[in-house]
Chains A and B, each alone.
Chain A
Amino acid sequence: MTTLTFPLSRIEGHAQVVIEVEDGDVKSAHFKAMELRGFAHFLKDQPADQMPVIVTRICGVCSTAHHVASVKALEDAYGVEPPPLAKKIRELMMLGQMLQNQATSLFIFTMPDRLGLSIIFQEEVSQEVAKEKQGIAGRALKVRKAGTDLITLAGGQFIHPVKAVVGGVTSGIPKDDAAAMKKQLEDALPMARELFDFYWKSSETLHDRIGTWGDDRPACYIAATGKTKPDYYGDRMRLLIPDNENIIDFQSRDFRKHLDFEETDYSYSAMTTYKGNALRANSLARINIADSMGTPLADEYLSIFREIHGNPANGILLFDIARGIELVYSIERSIELLGEDLENGEPAVPHTETDGEGFGLVEAPRGPLVHRYKIKDGLIEDIEFIIPTVHNVHSIELALMTAAKRYISKEKVDMELERAVGRVVRAFDPCIACATH
C-alpha cells in the first residue's frame, strides 16, 4: 500500500489530503482537518448573552455569519423579533461577508490555479503570465476591500463585527455614509466583472486543458437561501435531491430529523449525510436551488451559466464560477439596499432574557450555518455549531476519489494529481477553523 499525502494551502486552516493506493488501485481518499480549539466545550457554563462577541473568534474569515447566527439563536430562545431596519442592516452585513469571501476565494485562493502561479502577489513569472496577471492583485484587493468596508459600515468592526444585538442592531447607517459606500461599490462593480470575466475565461481554458469540470455526478444540494432568489439572512434549510421534482424545506430546529452526523478517527471534523447520501453546500448549491438571482447583471450571468451547464449544474469546478455570479449579485444587491433609508426607524426592540433553547440560521459563504444554544440560569448548558464545511466533507472526499482515479494508474501517478487535489478542495472553499471549531 502506498500513501500519498498532500498538505494544503490557499484554504482557511490546517488540512491534508491522504490518498491510499494499492497496485494502481485507489483505496481511499481522506480529507483530514488537523486542528481543534474546542469552542463547543469551553463555552459551556459561560453567559449566553456574551456569545455574539465570543463566537466571532471561531473564524476570522466568516465571523459575520457567526455573529448574526449567534444573535438569531438568542432571539429565538428569548422570543424576540428584530424590527425591519435591523434586518436590512444584518442583510447588508451578510452581503459584505459574501462579497469579501467570494473575492478572496476567486482571486486569492483559486486564481493562481488558473494562471499556474503559487500566489497572486509579487512573484517571478514569465513575461507572458506577467502581462496577463497585470493589475489582478491590485484590483482583487480593491474589490475585496469593498466587502470589508461594507462589513465595517454595517457591522461596526472589520473582522469580528459587533453591531448585531439581541432585538436588532446598535444603530442605523447615516445617509452620507450609506451614499459613500454605495459609490465605492458602484466603482467596484465593473472591476469585479472584469476580474470575473477573466476568471471565467481562464477556467474554460483550464477545462480544455484537463478535459473535465471534475466530479459531476448528480448530488444532493443544501442551502438556507431563498427559493426564488438569494437571501443570505436565512429563513429555512432547503434540500435539492436528484430525481426529485420538489425541494424539501425545513426549519433549522428540525435539522436532526433530516441530517445525520458522523465522526471519523482521521479528522477533527465531522461529516454530514442525508439518508446515506453525500451533500453539497456552498455557491453551487445556492445557484442550483434559487430560481433566479433577482438583480440584472447577476441574472445575465446566471442565464449564460445555465445555458452551458444546465440546472442543476454538477461539475466541481463550477462552484468557482457560481461564486463569481454571487460576487456580482452581492455588489448589486448591496447597492440597492444602500439606496434605501437605513437611518430612520427603530434599530432595536426591547427584550427580556429567558432560559430555553434557540436556533440561529444564516446562509454563510460556505453554506447553511446553525447555532443552537440551550440556556439555563442565563448560562450555556449545551451549545452546538452546525458548520457548512462539515456538510461538504463527504462530497470533497468523493470528488478527490474521482480525481485520484483519473490520475493514478498501475504504471504511474500523473503529476497533475497534486494540482487536481488543490483545485478540488479549493472549489469547496472549506474552512477548517469553522469545521472543527
Chain B
Amino acid sequence: MEKFAVLQLSGCAGCEVSLLNADAWVDKYQLVYMPLVISASGVPEVDILLVSGGVRTDEDLHNLKRSVKKANKVVAVGTCAISGGVTNLGNREEVRNFFMNQSEQRDLPRLLADCRPIADFVKVERYLPGCPPTPELFMAVLFDPPDFKAGNSVCVECNRKKDKTMKPKRLSGHLHGNVQPGICLINQGFLCIGTSTRGGCGALCTNPGQPCVGCRGPSNAFIEKESDAWFASIKKVFSKMTEIPEPEIDSALRSAQMAMFLYQFIDYAGDNPNVPSKKEIL
C-alpha cells in the first residue's frame, strides 16, 4: 500500500477536515502521519506528503524542511499553503510589528513577520488550491482518476444562467437574503468572480446563492499573468452585465474577501515569488 502523510502548518485544519470527508483513500493509501487523527512522532518515509497551512513560525519552517526530505512528492494543499491565504491581510506594517513583538515576549515558536507560502522554502511538485479543496479534489490529487475533470472556471460548473434583461445599478452588498434561484449572481448585483476562478469545486458556493470569492485561485487563463490582466478582464465582465459604476467594482475587487484569490497572483506574492505553472496546478 502506498503511504501518505499530512503535515499541518499554520492554518485552520479545514483542509484536514475536508480530507476526512473522503473515504476512498482508506483501502488504497496508508495514512502514516497526520497529527489530527494519528499519534506519531514525525513524518516517516512516504510516497506523498500533503502540506496544509502556511509558514507562520520558525517551528513551521523546521517541520516543513525536515518532512519534505522524507517524501517522494510534495503537494501544497489549500490556499494557506499556496499563498498564505486570508492571513495575507496582516501583511501591513503595524500588524507585522505586532507579530515581531509577540515573539520577543514569550518562550514559544518565533513568529515570522508574515505567513509565507511553502514554495518559498521547499520544492513543491503539485498544487491543490481551494479553501479548502473539496474531498473530490483531494481524491483527484492522490489517485489521478482518469474520469476526473475540473471545469475551466467555476461558471462552467455553476447551474445559474446569465440574464441579459437584468442589469443592476449598484452592488447589492456582499450578503443578503432573497437570492433568486437559477439566475446568475452578477445579474443580481453580487460580486461573483466565478468567471475567472479555477473550476473543480462544483460551484460549491454559487449554487446555494453565495458569490464565489475565488478560493480556487485564478483559472488557467490568468494564473501565469499579473493581477492587472485579471482586473481589466473582470471589470469588462461587470461593465457588460451590469450598470454598476466602475470605481465601486474596483474597490470591491480589492477588498478583504478577495484575499484568497488575489494573493495567488505573481505580483501579490511578495519578493522572489515561486508561482506554479498551469501544469502543476490541479
* Chain A facing B: main interface SS: loop
A50/B13 contact (C-beta < 8 A), A10-B38, A265-B105 known: no
Interface string of B84-122 (1 = CB under 8 A from A): 011101101001001100100111110100010000000
The verdict on B39 contacting chain A, using a C-beta distance below 8 Å, is yes
Query: Using Cβ atoms and an 8 Å threshold, which residues of chain A touch B26?
Result: 121-122, 137-138, 141
The verdict on B18 contacting chain A, using a C-beta distance below 8 Å, is yes
The verdict on A306 contacting chain B, using a C-beta distance below 8 Å, is no
- B177 near A348 with CB under 8 A, answer yes
- B180: shortest Cβ distance to chain A, in Å? 10
CA distance A406 to B193 in the complex (A): 58
Number of A-B contacts (CB under 8 A): 204
- B10 near A35 with CB under 8 A, answer yes
The verdict on A396 contacting chain B, using a C-beta distance below 8 Å, is no
CA distance A14 to B57 in the complex (A): 11
Interface string of B11-43 (1 = CB under 8 A from A): 111111110110100100011000111111100
CA distance A65 to B111 in the complex (A): 27
- B14 near A57 with CB under 8 A, answer yes
The verdict on A230 contacting chain B, using a C-beta distance below 8 Å, is no
CA distance A126 to B117 in the complex (A): 42
- A104 near B20 with CB under 8 A, answer yes
- A61 near B17 with CB under 8 A, answer yes
- A35 near B56 with CB under 8 A, answer yes
- A16: shortest Cβ distance to chain B, in Å? 10
- A266 near B102 with CB under 8 A, answer no
Option from A49, A60, A120, A162 in Cβ contact (under 8 Å) with B205 = A162
Which of B157-165, B208-216, B220-228 lines the interface with chain A? Answer: B208-216
The verdict on A118 contacting chain B, using a C-beta distance below 8 Å, is yes
The verdict on B145 contacting chain A, using a C-beta distance below 8 Å, is no
CA distance A114 to B175 in the complex (A): 45
Interface string of B217-240 (1 = CB under 8 A from A): 000000000000000000000000
B-contacting residues, A330-364, CB 8 Å: 346-351, 353
The verdict on B195 contacting chain A, using a C-beta distance below 8 Å, is no
Query: Using Cβ atoms and an 8 Å threshold, which residues of chain A touch B36?
Result: 9-12
Query: Using Cβ atoms and an 8 Å threshold, which residues of chain A touch B13?
Result: 12-13, 59-61, 433
The verdict on A34 contacting chain B, using a C-beta distance below 8 Å, is yes
- A267 near B256 with CB under 8 A, answer no
Interface string of A257-285 (1 = CB under 8 A from B): 00000000111100000000000000000
Option from A10, A46, A57, A346 in Cβ contact (under 8 Å) with B39 = A10
Known: A159-B132, A422-B39. 9 other contacts (CB 8 A): A9-B38, A10-B39, A34-B59, A35-B10, A47-B174, A50-B256, A60-B13, A61-B14, A353-B173
List 6 A-B residue pairs with CB atoms under 8 Å apart, sorted by A's residue number: A32-B108, A34-B109, A38-B90, A42-B95, A57-B14, A144-B20
Give chain A's interface residues, CB within 8 Å of chain B. 7-14, 32, 34-38, 41-43, 46-47, 49-50, 52-54, 57-61, 63, 86, 104, 108-109, 112, 118-122, 137-138, 141, 144-145, 148, 156-160, 162-163, 165-171, 265-268, 346-351, 353, 422, 433
